[in-house]
Amino acid sequence: METRGRIIRCGAALLSLLLLSLVSRVSALSVTVNDVECIYEYVLYEGDTVSGNFVVVDHDIFWSSDHPGIDFVVTSPQGSTVHTLKGTSGDKFEFKAPRSGMYKFCFHNPYSTPETVSFYIHIGHIPTEHDLAKDEHLDPINVKIAELREALESVTAEQKYLKARDARHRHTNESTRRRVIFYTVGEYCLLGLVSGLQVAYIRRLFSKSVAYNRV
Amino acid sequence: MNMKLGGARRLWTVLLVVAVAAVPAARGLWLELPSTGTKCVSEELHNNVVVLGDYYAFVGEDYDANATSTPTITVKVTSPYGNELYHKEKLSHGQFAFSTTESGNYLACFSLDNDLGKKVTVGIDWKIGIAAKDWDSVAKKEKIEGLELELKKLEESVESIHNNLQYLITREADMREVSEMTNARVAWYSSTSLGICIIVAVLQLWYLRRYFQKKKLI
């Protein structure tokens, strides 16, 4: 009887740990934003920290004033706006979820050219003292492990942000390299052509045909 | 003693119910599928990364596990070189798993098979690297559980952070090479451009002088 109770308690502790590990989730993807693109994520507990970042992957913009960036709006399940970022080409965000439910993360593209946005959303839960008091199988060590896990997730989030920004930087570099080559070759050809035309024109001015003999 | 047993069992059933209820509704992120056309999500991955994806489609705004009408979608996963890694049609939920062999942009595209007239949402649970690892089998194989398993997960997480950092360093080195090469090229091409300008001007003058001398104008 005693061992059976212990086994059941052990199983409950294991299950609660499994549940805790399920709670912190990560989602990192790139999506193309034509006009509005919304991503929904479920927040299990009230007070969870929702953190993340997004970077607009650079496409071939001719002059940078063409596209100042996209808008980012987070809506709570009740419909109120929790977080807003306007006109950026990439940023980090973090907020505490006021209540549990389905949160909507929307990217608004005010211009006609479609943009690709690489984003990362992480919802982290750390068991509070309230949870500790409610569930007798939860040790204070679980809180420490959860905090450690959240710290590691924040490092991973920073890395993903860095990787996305690096990708954008690489795009710019490649574009600069291509531009240097094409514009220089074009410049040389144009120079040769223009000087040839100049010479031909001056020759024509001084040619022996009747009307143009006097210059 | 009997009361304590009953209490523990009740707690276990409550946790089990919560775990089972929480898992499908909270799995992955949700995207709205347009009635026509495809919606694609992509991620840039490097070599030798395990990718595990679960997807499920449903009508409306809330996931109902007992829904009678489930919409069918077409799923296509392509590698950066255009190879099709996964292609399934007329499914409402499924799973794909693959290991990357090339580094680049991996694309997963979803489209509706037929327009139902209602809003269709697709849930995608996209896991790469250690998140895609099957921890249950690892726990069973190495006979570890509870705290030890959690700490092992953290250890793997730290290792993956270290690997990612190494990858970022090599990327930065590549980019720095391209930058420096572009810098050198700009200097070289600009001075060549100036040189060509001067040469062409000298040629022009020489040619015109010769021409006018021939025409006995000078």
Q: Report whether B47 contacts B103 (CB < 8 A).
A: yes
Task: Name which of A191, A193, A208 to mutate to probe chain B: the one with the most chain B Cβ atoms within 10 A of its Cβ.
Answer: A191
* Mean pLDDT, rounded, for A190-209: 86
| Paired strand residues for A39 | A105, B31
Residue A97 to residue A44: CA distance in whole angstroms? 10
What pLDDT score does B166 carry? Answer: 94
Two structure tokens written together for A144: 């420490």
Closest CA to B110 of B29, B34, B7, B186: B34
What pLDDT score does A15 carry? Answer: 47
Residue A174 to residue A141: CA distance in whole angstroms? 49
Residue B172: list chain A partners with CB under 8 A: 166
Closest CA to A28 of B91, B88, B51: B51
Q: What share of chain A is helix, strand, coil (3-state, %, to 5)?
A: 45, 30, 25
How many other CB atoms are there within 10 angstroms of residue A81's CB atom? 11
What pLDDT score does A35 carry? Answer: 86
Residue B115 to residue B118: CA distance in whole angstroms? 8
Residue A158 touches partner B, C-beta closer than 8 Å: no
- Three-class SS state of A58: coil
Residue A102 burial (C-beta neighbours within 10 Å; 0-12, 13-18, 19+): middle
Residue B75 burial (C-beta neighbours within 10 Å; 0-12, 13-18, 19+): buried
Residue A19 to residue B113: CA distance in whole angstroms? 35
Q: What distances in angstroms separate CA B177 from CA A164, B171, B172, one per listed residue?
A: 19, 10, 9
Distance from CA of B28 to the nearest CA of A (A): 7
Q: Which residues contact B8 (CB under 8 A, 6 or more apart)?
A: A5, A8, A9, A12
% chain B with pLDDT above 70: 88
Q: Which amino acid is at B136?
A: D
User: Can you tell me which residue has the tokens 């119910």?
Assistant: B17
Residue B136 pLDDT grade (very low, low, confident, very high; cuts 50, 70, 90)? confident
Residue A149 has its nearest CB partner, among B23, B154, B185, at: B154
How many other CB atoms are there within 10 angstroms of residue B192's CB atom? 13
pLDDT digits (tens, 9 = 90+) for A102-112: 999 999 988 88
For helices B147-214 and B135-142, angle between their N-to-C axes, nearest 10 degrees: 130
* Mean pLDDT, rounded, for A203-209: 77
Complex ipTM tops 0.85: no
Least confident piece of the model among A54-58, A132-136, B50-54 = A132-136
pLDDT digits (tens, 9 = 90+) for A39-84: 999 998 888 999 999 998 866 666 665 566 889 999 999 999 999 9
Residue A109 to residue B56: CA distance in whole angstroms? 27
Q: What distances in angstroms separate CA A184 from CA B116, B180, B189, one per listed residue?
A: 55, 17, 7
Residue A195: list chain B partners with CB under 8 A: 200-201, 203-204
Residue B95 backbone zone (phi > 0: left; psi -120 to 50: alpha; other: beta)? beta
Closest CA to A70 of A52, A51, A81, A57: A57
DSSP H or E stretch at residue B89: strand B84-91
pLDDT digits (tens, 9 = 90+) for B25-39: 447 889 988 888 889
Distance from CA of A195 to the nearest CA of B (A): 7
Residue B21 touches partner A, C-beta closer than 8 Å: no
Residue B193: list chain A partners with CB under 8 A: 184, 187-188, 191
Q: For B100, list phi and psi in degrees, rounded to 5.
A: -75, 140
Residue A198 has its nearest CB partner, among B8, B149, B204, at: B204
- Three-class SS state of B133: coil
Q: Report whether A74 contacts A87 (CB < 8 A).
A: no
Residue A95 pLDDT grade (very low, low, confident, very high; cuts 50, 70, 90)? very high
CA end-to-end distance (rounded Å), chain A: 121
What pLDDT score does A209 carry? Answer: 65
Pairing of strands B93-99, B50-59: antiparallel
Between positions 25 and 84 of A, the ones with CB within 8 A of B are 25-32, 38-42, 44
Q: For A161, list phi and psi in degrees, rounded to 5.
A: -60, -45
What pLDDT score does B11 carry? Answer: 55
Residue A28: list chain B partners with CB under 8 A: 43, 126, 128
pLDDT digits (tens, 9 = 90+) for B13-22: 554 444 443 3
Residue B201 touches partner A, C-beta closer than 8 Å: yes
Residue A171 touches partner B, C-beta closer than 8 Å: no
Task: Name which of B182, B191, B210 to mutate to probe chain A: the one with the most chain A Cβ atoms within 10 A of its Cβ.
Answer: B182
Q: Which amino acid is at A160?
A: K
User: Above 50 in pLDDT, residue A20?
Assistant: no
- Inter-chain contact A8–B8, Cβ cutoff 8 Å? yes
User: Above 60 in pLDDT, residue A11?
Assistant: no
Residue A32: list chain B partners with CB under 8 A: 40
User: Above 60 in pLDDT, residue B23?
Assistant: no
The single-letter DSSP state of residue B130 is G
Residue A212 touches partner B, C-beta closer than 8 Å: no
* Mean pLDDT, rounded, for B81-106: 89
Give me the half-sphere count of Cα atoms (radius 13 Å) on the Cβ side of residue A180. Answer: 19
Residue A11: list chain B partners with CB under 8 A: 12
Across the A:B interface, residue pairs with CB atoms under 8 Å apart total 173
Diameter of chain B measured on Cα atoms:
127
